[in-house]
Structure 1
Amino acid sequence: MLTKIERRRGIALGLTSLVGIALFVGIAAFALLSWDAGQAQNRLLTAYNWRILQFTLWQATLSTLLSITFALPVALALGRRPAFPGRIWIVRLMALPMGLPVLIGALGLIGIWGRQGVVNSLLLNLGVEQPVSIYGLSGILIAHVFFNMPLAARLLLAALERLPAEYWLLSSSLGMKPFSVFRFVEWPAARRVIPGIAGLIFMLCATSFTLVLVLGGGPAATTLEVAIYQSLRFDFDPSRAIALSLLQIGITAVILAAISRFPAPDDTDSSLGRTNRRFDGRNWKAKLWDVAAILLATVFLILPLTSILLAGAKADLWKLLMSSAFHRAAWTSFAIALSAGLLAVATSLAIISARRALADIRHPGRPAKILSSALAATASLVLLVPPVVLGTGWFLALRPFGDVARFAPVLVAIINMLMALPFVIRILAPAIETHRRRTSRLSASLGLSGLPQLLRIDLPVLAKPLLTALSFAMALSLGDLGAVALFGSGELTTLPWLVYSQLSSYRTNDADGLALLLGAICLGLTMLGTAGQRRAGHG
């Protein structure tokens, strides 16, 4: 039980965070709707916008189908082979693309699937005249599968590993064939989570920005977010940007509504890596199929990562590290990332405290229930209004006040904070809830509350989850290109923007070297966060 003061303080903090986020998003939305809205409405479904909308939905659909289609046999194989050599490292490898900056992954894919890449060089040696194109729809699909297939495989594997061990023992005692095991045991478990996984991947692909910007290859392969960016950055056509933004918000709202109808998939560490004794798949055909699926998936993931390492190592890394451009970009990136990370952690703590305070009310009224629902939905606002749309709204809102670049660092930090918020809440909420259950009676018996409780009881235990959340939020911000894309200039250059600028100037050697440095920094932060979470939660 909380005291009245603690309850009021928690609700006040949560309400303040909610109002702040709502104002930031609301001002952007209002600017979009009020800036020549009549002309934007007339241009809502022009032939150009309709073509962009169709391509956005088509590539997202194909990417989702391919990601799940390739992920299912990999998850089944890993589930059947708990003793596969290096299995735990393969499962960890599948988490790497989620912590890798999208721009870095795109460069690695170009190194493997580009014109001079490993795959096309091999195909040309075999006499294939039309090599695989990394640009256009095919490149976008390859990139989306690279980032989303491992995510789908981990989520499917977690669903399989949550099945009771008795299922496998019973299927063996009944003498069930491999197809029967799949039909009656594996497929029902996978079928329950596939809709949620598909919705998540579809959302990620429909709102994809950096991959399409780098690999789209022209107007024929452009999504809504990239078209919004191009409308403001190159054409300066606010009406078209607003019309595209409204379409983007409408699509994401429909997708979020659809996703909410399905249970959210989970890949918590408590399931991944747990080994049930399996009795199926003992014949050589099943073993060969499983080994092939695991090895192909591993090679598909490792090759672009290896390409990043090798291409980056060829650059003059010391010269890049000592360059003034790198120093300015690194300082700007770290300042924005630290600000975004601290804001994300503080906002998450406020939201969690408010939800706990509201849950502590014995007979909550309608206002308390509405506030609780609003706090729970706060993290979804950034999904409803993507970073490029938020940037467009604030660009239009601040334009009458002069040079928008003056406000850009603050805007980018806040947008990056909103991007990290769902992940930070997911890290902190379970840790805080577990800690409160274990220590609430101890705090009450000692008469501790407020600052003494924070310093003596809370911080020693929650320091690691807080560090995990902060490092993960900083890694997301450091590797993000979407928020800074509209504002990037000589005055505001982050590390991803510096990499993209070098790539656009065809200075690929420097781009590869900078990509390796950026990837190492983000990977180090992600590993720091993962290590802290593992020690805190699972020893």
Structure 2
Amino acid sequence: MLTLAERRRGIGAGLTVLIAVILFVGTAVVTLLAWDGDQSASRLFTAYTWSILRFTLLQAALSTLLSILFAIPVALALARRPGFPGRVWIVRLMALPMGLPALVGALGLLGVWGRQGVLNGWLTAAGLEQPVSVYGLSGILLAHTFFNIPLAVRLLLAVLERLPAEYWLLSASLGMKPFSIFRFVEWPALARVVPGVAGLIFMLCATSFTLVLVLGGGPAATTLEVAIYQALRFDFDPPRAIALAFLQITVTAAVVGLVTLLPAATDMVRTAGRSIQRLDGRSGPSRLWDFFVIAAAVIFVASPLLSVLAAGLRADLWKLVTGPRFIQAATTSLAIAVTAGTIAVTASLAILNARQAIRDRRDPNLAERLLSTSLAGTSSLVLVIPPIILGTGWFLVLRQFGNVGDFAPYLVAIINALMALPFAVRVLEPALEDHRRQTARLAAALGIGGIDKWRLVDIPVLLRPILTALSFAMALSLGDLGAVALFGSSDLVTLPWLVYSSLSSYRTNDADGLALILGVVCLFLTILGTAGRKEHNNV
């Protein structure tokens, strides 16, 4: 039980974070609403605007469909083959694209599938003249499946590996064929989570910015977020940007609402706790099929990563890291990442402590229940109001006070912190819940509270999850191009912006080297965040 003073401090800190987030997001949205509303409304009904909306939804739907269709056989094959050589490393490989900046992944895909890529080189040697194009819709779909298939595989594999051992014993005793096992055992389990996984992937694809910016290839393959960026950065057409911004908010809000309506994936079975032993899939054709599927997935995911590594090593890395532009970009990126990570972790702790303080009351009043619900939704607000929308609103606000570049580093850090907030909350919440469940009563019985409780009881246990959340938030900020895209200039250069600038200037060798450095740093932070955490069932 918390003391009255601890409860008040917790609720006060959470309320402060809630007000700050609402003010920051609300200012951007209200500015968009107030800025030349008549002209902006008229832009909603142009053929250009609706063509961009159609393409945004089309590429997101196709990317989601392809990701799920390819992820299901890979997850099934990995679940059937717990003894597959190197399986634990294959599962870990599926996590790498999730910690890789989108810009680095795009360069890796260009190295394999691009005009000068490995695949076209082989086809040219075979007598064909570069028949594969990685730009436009095909390139966007390729990039989205590269990033989302590993995510879907890990989520679906976790569900399959939680199926009770009794299912496999019963299916073996009944002599069920592979199709029957899929129909009656595997698919019912997958069907509970596939809609949620598909909704998550659709949201990621609908709000994709960097991949579309690099691989879109022109106006015919432009999403809402990229069109907003182009309207402000190149054309400086605020009414068009505002119209597109509200379309984007409408789309993301609708998708988030639909995802929340999907049934939660819960384990509805009882098990005797036996160790799982798969008795199916032992025939030759089944083994061959699983080997082919797993090998294809490994090649598809690993080849762009190897391309980034090989191309980056060919660059003059020493010259790059000692150059003044790199030092400036690295210093700026690190400062923004540390600031964004600290804000995200501090805000997450305040939100979770406030919700705990409210739950600690036996009979919270209506205002406290509303506050708890609002705090729970605050961490997901960035899903409804994407960074490019926040950047657009604040761009219009700050240009009235002078040079926007003077405020840009602080703005980018805050936007990146909001982007990292859902991840930080997800990392910290189970750790805080377990810790309080184990120590709250004993600390209260011993009369330990305030600073002493934080210093003697909380910090020794919570330091690791706090550092985990911080490393994830920093990795996300370091690899982000979206927030800095509107404000990047000679005075504000981050590592992703430097990579993109080098690529746009056709200095591909420098871009490859910088991408390797950026990718290694972000992956190191991601791995550091998971160091010491035991994986459940290798997932």
Answer whether contact 2:2 2:444 (CA < 8 A) is retained: no
For the pair 1:438 / 2:424, whether they are aligned, the reply is no
CA distance in 1, matches of 2:265, 2:420: 19
Residue aligning to 2:458:
458
Residue aligning to 1:416:
416
CA offsets 1:65-100 (integer angstroms, 9 cap, x no match): 000000000000000001101111111110110000
Residue aligning to 2:338:
338
Give me the TM-score of the superposition, normalised by structure 2. Answer: 0.97
Residue aligning to 1:271:
none
Pick which of 39-48 and 55-64 moved more. Answer: 39-48
CA offsets 1:122-151 (integer angstroms, 9 cap, x no match): 223334446211111000000000000010
| Amino acid corresponding to residue 221 of structure 2 in structure 1 | A
Give me the TM-score of the superposition, normalised by structure 1. Answer: 0.97
CA distance in 2, matches of 1:259, 1:533: 29
For the pair 1:50 / 2:58, whether they are aligned, the reply is no
Aligned residues: 532
Deviation of 1:367 (Å): 1.3
| Amino acid corresponding to residue 306 of structure 2 in structure 1 | T
Residue aligning to 1:159:
159
Pick which of 51-60 and 436-445 moved more. Answer: 436-445
CA distance in 2, matches of 1:324, 1:534: 41
Superposition pairs of residues 125-164 of structure 1, within 5 angstroms: 125-129=125-129, 131-164=131-164
Residue aligning to 1:270:
none
Residues 266 and 292 from structure 1, CA distance in 2 versus in 1: closer, same or farther, beyond 3 angstroms? farther
For the pair 1:38 / 2:38, whether they are aligned, the reply is yes
Residue aligning to 1:22:
22
CA distance in 2, matches of 1:474, 1:534: 22
Answer whether contact 1:312 1:512 (CA < 8 A) is retained: yes
Deviation of 1:536 (Å): 13
Deviation of 1:379 (Å): 1.3
CA distance in 2, matches of 1:169, 1:401: 71
CA distance in 2, matches of 1:276, 1:422: 34
SS in 1 for 2:531: helix
Residues 532 and 179 from structure 1, CA distance in 2 versus in 1: closer, same or farther, beyond 3 angstroms? same
Deviation of 1:532 (Å): 4.3
Superposition pairs of residues 455-494 of structure 1, within 5 angstroms: 455-494=455-494
CA distance in 2, matches of 1:47, 1:65: 27
For the pair 1:254 / 2:258, whether they are aligned, the reply is no
CA distance in 1, matches of 2:282, 2:482: 48
Percent identical? 67
Superposition pairs of residues 211-360 of structure 1, within 5 angstroms: 211-263=211-263, 276-360=276-360
Answer whether contact 1:464 1:533 (CA < 8 A) is retained: no
Answer whether contact 1:379 1:422 (CA < 8 A) is retained: yes
CA distance in 2, matches of 1:533, 1:83: 22
CA offsets 1:229-272 (integer angstroms, 9 cap, x no match): 000000000000000000000000000000001245699xxxxx
CA offsets 1:181-229 (integer angstroms, 9 cap, x no match): 0000000011110000000000000000000000000101000000000
Q: Where does the alignment leave 5 or more consecutive residues of structure 2 unmatched?
A: 268-273
Answer whether contact 1:471 1:529 (CA < 8 A) is retained: yes
Q: CA RMSD in A?
A: 1.7
SS in 2 for 1:260: helix
| Amino acid corresponding to residue 458 of structure 1 in structure 2 | D
Answer whether contact 1:212 1:226 (CA < 8 A) is retained: yes
Deviation of 1:442 (Å): 2.2
CA distance in 2, matches of 1:169, 1:266: 22
Q: Where does the alignment leave 5 or more consecutive residues of structure 1 unmatched?
A: 268-273
SS in 1 for 2:261: coil
Residues 235 and 151 from structure 1, CA distance in 2 versus in 1: closer, same or farther, beyond 3 angstroms? same
Residue aligning to 1:104:
104
For the pair 1:171 / 2:174, whether they are aligned, the reply is no
CA distance in 2, matches of 1:132, 1:264: 40
CA distance in 2, matches of 1:36, 1:79: 56
For the pair 1:516 / 2:516, whether they are aligned, the reply is yes
Answer whether contact 2:115 2:130 (CA < 8 A) is retained: no
Residues 235 and 401 from structure 1, CA distance in 2 versus in 1: closer, same or farther, beyond 3 angstroms? same
Residue aligning to 2:379:
379
Answer whether contact 1:203 1:252 (CA < 8 A) is retained: yes
SS in 2 for 1:131: coil
CA distance in 1, matches of 2:533, 2:17: 25
Answer whether contact 1:479 1:496 (CA < 8 A) is retained: yes
SS in 1 for 2:487: coil
CA distance in 2, matches of 1:289, 1:307: 27
Deviation of 1:360 (Å): 1.2
Answer whether contact 1:112 1:307 (CA < 8 A) is retained: yes
| Amino acid corresponding to residue 18 of structure 1 in structure 2 | L
Deviation of 1:453 (Å): 0.6
Answer whether contact 1:465 1:536 (CA < 8 A) is retained: no
Deviation of 1:520 (Å): 1.0
For the pair 1:114 / 2:114, whether they are aligned, the reply is yes
Residue aligning to 2:271:
none
| Amino acid corresponding to residue 526 of structure 2 in structure 1 | T
